[in-house]
Amino acid sequence: MKTIFVTGGAGYIGSHTVLLLLESGYRVKIYDNLSNSHLEAVKRIERLSGKSVEFIEGDIRDTDRVANALQGSSAVIHFAGVKAVGESVSNPLKYYDNNVLGTIELLKAMKQSEVKKMIFSSSASIYGNPQYLPIDEQHPINPTNPYGRSKFMLEQILRDIYDTNRGYSFGILRYFNPIGAHPSGEIGEDPQGIPNNLLPFITQVASGKLDKLRVFGNDYDTPDGTGVRDYIHVMDLAEGHLRMLEKLDDNSFDIYNLGTGRGYSVLQIIKTFEKVNGINIPYEIVSRRAGDVPVSYADVSKAQKELGWRAKRGLEDMCKDAWRWQLKNPKGYRSSM
Ligand code: NAD
Ligand code: UD1
């Protein structure tokens, strides 16, 4: 049985992927410093899967600790990192330290332990303002903030390592907008403080924690004037990692967009959430948010063709599952403490 070393495995996307890995017969070691997650997520993964996970609390910048922990693993899925775009603008050093330096230390540890396969979490934010739609993997790269730049720097670092060292295999996955939760409502996204992203904000308005949603702009050149994004169910995203893992061989470097290929506007999201959950979402239109792009959605044909993967879950599932998670866990993972 293969052991997969999952950095950031207690986090939002990591926890859903770990669950699928266990259900697919892999052994999993999670390495996470719990800076943006809770051990409770790991307990729930174990409960849902009926299998145990080895959890190691640690920082990816602690090279020796990572190298020790890596022993016996056949591949790394690397989710660990910081991801708030606004914070990356005000505190870029945190992003270059955690994401860029952290990944470099992880790569050094992999070299020491002779683990040569990695799946890396990249982001659609590296494309910047789309020059054409849908966005394919050849689209020019132009990140507009330090978070996006940290992700692109890492893609380049991985490419350089691949080009000069035989035997490495890298799968780079550029996620569009992951939302939703496991259908059990046991694991999901647990943002700290007031959420920045649309879906967590909507679920907190729905639960009465926040009074109304602010819709950032209705004067974009889109059918209803509000921003359009490619929202993807986190379980579909997790399945994409399984397909990528199966494809990693002893010498490969691949980049894939993971999205649905469909764009929905903010108002469409609100309406769908209201309809499927029978809840009213009060909102007001405010001015555009600085740095937002009008429209973004993926060309997913490469992942379909080469990974045999496609997103199966629709927007209604995403909205229902996000709400179930919120209802069952009004205070996120702290609800069960
Ligand atoms: P998350 O914050 O829920 O998970 C990240 C995990 O990494 C957390 O458990 C955190 O405690 C851990 N971590 C952070 N820094 C660490 C460090 N130095 N050492 C060890 N552990 C550390 O985020 P997520 O939404 O699950 O995102 C996972 C990855 O996907 C990130 O790299 C993120 O940049 C990328 N990504 C996320 C999105 C998104 O919308 N959620 C979109 C594109 C890309
Ligand atoms: C943002 C990041 C992106 C990151 C992604 C997931 C920016 C510029 N980009 O993407 O790098 O990968 O989060 O973490 O920040 N909206 C509202 N009201 C709200 C929140 C959002 O109207 O309270 C709108 C936004 O204007 C946008 C859409 O909802 O049109 C989605 O926003 P969000 O969930 O923040 O994701 P992105 O901006 O696409």
Interacting residues of 156 by C-beta distance below 8 A, sequence separation 6+:
none
CATH (domain of 132): 3.40.50.720
Range of the domain at 271: 3-336
pLDDT band at 337 (very low <50, low <70, confident <90, very high): low
Region 112-122: what's the mean pLDDT? 97
CA–CA gap between residue 4 and residue 12 (Å, rounded): 17
Residue nearest to atom 33 of ligand 2 (CA): 197
For residue range 262-272, list pLDDT tens digits in order: 999 999 999 99
Predicted confidence (pLDDT) at residue 29 exceeds the cutoff of 80: yes
pLDDT of residue 1: 85
Tally of domains in the chain: 1
201 lines ligand 2 (CB under 6 A): yes
For residue range 3-20, list pLDDT tens digits in order: 999 999 999 999 999 999
Which three-class secondary structure state does DSSP give residue 315? helix
For residue range 211-258, list pLDDT tens digits in order: 999 999 999 999 999 999 999 999 999 999 999 999 998 899 999 999
Q: What is the largest CA-CA distance in the chain?
A: 56
Task: For a ligand 1 pocket test, name from 31, 60, 83, 237 the mutation site with the most ligand atoms within 8 angstroms of its C-beta.
Answer: 83
Q: Cα(245) to centroid of ligand 2, in Å? A: 28
234-247 helix and 12-23 helix, angle to the nearest 10 degrees: 60
- Average per-residue pLDDT for the chain: 97
Strands 264-265 and 228-229, how do they pair? antiparallel
Predicted confidence (pLDDT) at residue 164 exceeds the cutoff of 90: yes
pTM of the model: 0.98
Residue 264 annotated in active site: no
Strands 252-258 and 3-7, how do they pair? unpaired
Share of the chain above pLDDT 90, in %: 95
* Angstrom distances, CA of residue 265 to CA of 124, 297, 302: 17, 11, 24
Predicted confidence (pLDDT) at residue 314 exceeds the cutoff of 80: yes
Share of the chain above pLDDT 70, in %: 99
Length of the chain: 337
Q: Cα(99) to centroid of ligand 1, in Å? A: 9
pLDDT band at 281 (very low <50, low <70, confident <90, very high): very high
Asked if 168 contacts 116 with a C-beta cutoff of 8 angstroms, the reply is yes
